[in-house]
Amino acid sequence: MAVVDLVLRPGTTDDAAECGRVCFEAFAGIAREHAFPPDIPSLEVGVALTEAGLSHPGFYSVVAEIDGRIVGSNFLDERSTVVGVGPITIDPAVQNRGVGRRLMLDVMDRAAERRAPGIRLLQSGYHNRSFSLYASLGFAFRETVACMQGPAFSHPVPGHTVREATDADLGACNELCRQIHGVDRGGEVVDALKQGTARVVEHGGRVTGYATDLAFFAHAVGRTTSDLQALIGSASAFGGPGILVPARNSLLLGWCLANGLKVVQLLSLMTVGLYNEPTGAYLPSILY
């Protein structure tokens, strides 16, 4: 039965603790129900994640309340031209009552108001209800992505040099992303440069790939699979639940498996609006 007394409002940093609790409990409950490890491993991580979204000017946030009690939240990453949804979380006590649909419609309306050409998200392949919700809202399935985790391994790729990215690399990174995806993700690259997590790979005297980090909430692009192999093979660790590898890139998937990484779960990349078939190699973030 749908919740009729639901109130939606903008999120504030004061909501971090309660939104973080809901985020942790929602992800933990769904993962436990399907015998998978949770994407959000602890309450502290849930609070930190929601606080980051609530305080960052590049994110839009919406909070759902019933009788003044927070029962869910959703975020829209607006740092780049194409926007990414998530994390969306609903208190287990009110799941399957229409709260998620209302939260999704809110961020989709926000994207329409801002004239964003496309919206993207990734959803856990084991969660059929969320897949059905997104499909019913017009999201098209694009491809299966494997979340992979394991010990870091040193694996240099001949002819490819990986180094820390600098502000001077921003233009080359954006141009490379436009060539592969049709749009750039410059806002995310700027944040990664500030945080010191961005890396570039050079081949033949030019930048041929970059990664904002090798982590769940980071993305990477490369002209070829070899560029991504160089970036992955230079990482000191894989942050969060792991890196996200498009399953259809069988060369990269098999290479990761051969080097000790394991598939944690499969996810679905889904989109509304503008979507260009990638013309190179890439790793999406959990947001897209």
| pLDDT attached to residue 2 | 57
| Digit-coded pLDDT (tens) for 51-65 | 999 999 999 999 999
d(Cα 69, Cα 66) in Å, to the nearest integer? Answer: 5
H/E stretch holding 268:
strand 262-273
The count of other CB atoms within 10 Å of the CB of residue 91 is 21
Across residues 221-229, what is the average pLDDT?
98
Does 3 have pLDDT greater than 70?
A: no
Q: Are 225 and 160 in contact (CB under 8 A)?
A: no
Q: Which amino acid would we find at residue 46?
A: G
Q: Are 106 and 271 in contact (CB under 8 A)?
A: no
Q: Are 53 and 47 in contact (CB under 8 A)?
A: no
| Digit-coded pLDDT (tens) for 79-102 | 999 999 999 999 998 987 899 999
pLDDT level of residue 21 (50, 70, 90 thresholds) = very high
Least confident of 2-16, 125-139, 189-203: 2-16
| pTM score | 0.93
The count of other CB atoms within 10 Å of the CB of residue 117 is 14
**Closest of 4, 76, 18 to residue 47, by C-alpha:** 18
Helix (H, G, I), strand (E, B) or coil at 45: helix
pLDDT level of residue 5 (50, 70, 90 thresholds) = confident
Residues 19/24/26/29 CA torsion (nearest 10 deg):
-160
Across residues 147-171, what is the average pLDDT?
97
Does 284 have pLDDT greater than 90?
A: yes
Which tokens sit at 108? 């989709």
Mean pLDDT over the full length of the chain:
95
- Tell me the DSSP string of 205-265: TEEEEEES-SBTT--EEESSHHHHHHHHTT-S--BTT-EEEETT-HHHHHHHHHTT-EEEE
**For residue 256, what are the CA distances in angstroms to 36, 132, 226, 249, 271?**
21, 30, 12, 11, 26
pLDDT level of residue 38 (50, 70, 90 thresholds) = confident
Strands 118-124 and 262-273: antiparallel
Q: Are 99 and 114 in contact (CB under 8 A)?
A: no
Does 1 have pLDDT greater than 80?
A: no
Question: How is residue 116 annotated by DSSP?
Answer: -
pLDDT over 90, % of the chain = 91
Question: How is residue 204 annotated by DSSP?
Answer: T
| Digit-coded pLDDT (tens) for 242-256 | 999 999 999 999 999
Does 191 have pLDDT greater than 80?
A: yes
| pLDDT attached to residue 33 | 86
d(Cα 217, Cα 263) in Å, to the nearest integer? Answer: 17
- Residue appearing with tokens 């209800």: 129
Which tokens sit at 40? 């959000």
d(Cα 91, Cα 86) in Å, to the nearest integer? Answer: 15
d(Cα 143, Cα 163) in Å, to the nearest integer? Answer: 30
d(Cα 185, Cα 180) in Å, to the nearest integer? Answer: 11
